[in-house]
Amino acid sequence: MMAIRATTIPETLFEAARRHGGRTAIEDGDVRIDYAELPTRALAVTRALMAHGVAAGDRVAIWAPNRYEWVLAALGVQCAGAVMVPINTRMKGAEAADVIGRSGARVVFVVGDFLGVDYPAMLEPLRPATLEQIVVLSGERALRAGELGWDAFLDCGGSVAEVEARARAEAVGPDDLSDLMFTSGTTGKPKGVMSAHGACVRAFSEYARVIGLKVGDRYLIVNPFFHAFGYKAGWLTCLIAGATILPHPVFDAEAVFRRIEADRITVLPGPPTLYLSMLAHPRLAETDLSSLRIAVTGAATIPPVLIQRMRCELGFSVVTTAYGLTECGGLATICDPSDDAETVAGTSGRAIPGTEVRIVDADNRPLPAGEAGEICLHGFHVMKGYFGDAQATAEAIDREGWLHTGDVGTLDARGYLRITDRLKDMFIVGGFNCYPAEIEAALTEHPAIAQVAVIGLPDERMGEVGCACVVLRPGHQLDEPTLIAWSRERMANYKVPRFVRFLPALPVNASNKVMKNELRALAAV
């Protein structure tokens, strides 16, 4: 792969058009967009945003599943010099309204309906005052007052010349913010992570190089675009390398199998759950997977036998793992495809060039190889900070510029990182980070609950699932199905506890802190 010269996402877009015109950039159902026409399609969004008064530095949100308009909207926002705010499609109205309100987003692109849910209807009663325009990407229902359809929105850009929009895009610099991605934390309140254009392009140019992504690759993006795995390691990496973006809105083993065969997919990253589902599929032996070449996984420790099965039974010649968090742009370390199965399964690789990883003790002193401590990161990929939260930024990034991840791990003599625990008590459900404090805060709103502690329990299919350990208020009754149903109405489905354990009291230590290790032993019984 030729090295990318661009230092911003708009530059990446224009360079990709020059290099790869005549090749398909995005393929989504009947929609085919050539690399040569991609800038014009993206700048049409920029022109419409400019017509609506969106200025450089303004925030614009996207709340939709993987689809071609998502990429056009994001590129249009970024070419306008605005900051793209992705919103998790699993969020409920209150969660999305919180992100839109605290980011100050002036415009939101939203899917009309998805999996039977009317997204604008969820948002409408909670619509933040800062939100001026809702642009509905699709939907069978009629538009409501205050909503614009995608085509009508683009028509608004007729008053702005494309040359004006291109000038806006060319004015974007590498230190300007490209996105504001909200990530949960131990306090339970999502925080907006500020990332810059230059860091995104540099990190994922390296990612594309390591995995061997090349011109003409066909990349099925199952990982959601609202997550760095689907956005930065997904469609942005495709633009960097000249690969074709094939969005996929919902993971379903049957549908993915059909697409690999029919669309000759070469690149298929995802959490271990994806590959385990494929390996367990009854049509595995009769499905033509010969086009597959590259797999990238992470988010959980995986057994070496899975790496071997992915290579032998699924036919991937490149299988690697990576580690990152939103606060470092989504990528910190990565294994080399030449690493053996034990290394790929048991470690998260080495730091990408231009960055450093170190392990520190409780007093922030570096530890030698093999000793466990907190994982800290340093380099160009570290976030510019948490949006509007100087205190949280200072707590996360020390005076020397090291990002304290809250994850526990070790570095071996080769510099390979092994993650052993999580200081922040996070657990991962099917590739999605779940923060107990956030879920606990939501559950304590139930009138029957006096106290609650949430833990992650091992699950063969999802990696981990949530378990709520509940102490009821005197005189109140509640059962597991009722609480789970109540939770499904109020939080993203991956956050919903799969199990509920009712206890007379939560075990606490001398400092009155809940002993979650003891809870895990109780819950596992």
Residue 308 reports pLDDT greater than 80: yes
* Cα–Cα distance, 316 to 221 (Å, whole number): 16
Span 471-520, pLDDT tens digits: 998 899 999 999 999 999 999 999 999 999 999 988 876 445 678 888 88
Helix axes 162-170, 9-20, angle to 10 degrees: 120
Helix (H/G/I), strand (E/B), else coil: 282: coil
Cα 179 to Cα 119: distance, rounded to the nearest angstrom = 22
Q: Which two tokens stand for residue 93?
A: 């109205």
Instruction: Supply the pTM of this predicted model.
Output: 0.86
By the 8 A CB rule, do 136 and 147 touch? Answer: yes
234-281 pLDDT, tens per residue? Answer: 999 999 999 999 999 987 878 888 899 999 999 999 877 788 788 888
Task: Give tens-digit pLDDT for 79-100.
Answer: 999 999 999 998 999 999 999 9
| pLDDT single digits (tens) 294-303 | 999 875 557 7
Structure tokens at 37: 């026409």
As a whole number of angstroms, the distance between CA 249 and CA 221 comes to: 8
Pairwise CA distance, residues 57 & 266, whole Å: 37
Which ranges in 174-282 belong to alpha helices (H)?
197-211, 228-230, 237-241, 253-263, 272-279
SS3 (DSSP) at 227? coil
Q: Where in the chain is the domain with CATH 3.30.300.30?
A: 427-524
Q: What is the arithmetic mean of pLDDT over 28-47?
A: 98
**CATH fold for domain 9-195:** Rossmann fold (3.40.50)
* Residue 111, token pair as written in the block: 């899917």
Identify the DSSP state of 207. Answer: H
CATH code of 251-422, in short, is 3.40.50.12780
Residue range(s) in the chain whose domain bears CATH number 3.40.50.980: 9-195
Work out the angle at residue 241's Cα, subtended by the Cα atoms of residues 304 and 349, and round it to the nearest 5 degrees.
30
Q: Helix, strand or coil for residue 497?
A: coil
Please name which of 235, 248, 178 lies closest in space to residue 208, comparing C-alpha atoms.
235
Pairing of strands 177-183, 191-196: antiparallel
Burial of 367 (0-12, 13-18, 19+ CB in 10 A): middle
- Token couple for 150: 């995608």
Which ranges in the chain are annotated with CATH 3.40.50.12780?
251-422
pLDDT of residue 511: 44
Each residue's pLDDT tens digit, 203-213: 999 999 999 99
Per-residue pLDDT, 46: 98
Does the pLDDT value for residue 141 go beyond 90? no
* Fold (topology level) of 427-524: GMP Synthetase; Chain A, domain 3 (3.30.300)
- The mean predicted confidence, pLDDT, of the chain is 92
- Residue 125 DSSP one-character state: G
Mean pLDDT of 373-378: 95
Report the percentage of the chain scoring pLDDT > 90: 74
Q: What is the mean pLDDT of residues 3-7?
A: 74
pLDDT of 60 above 70? yes
The residue to which tokens 């390296």 are assigned:
206
Residues in CB range of 283: below 8 A, 6 or more apart: 254, 257
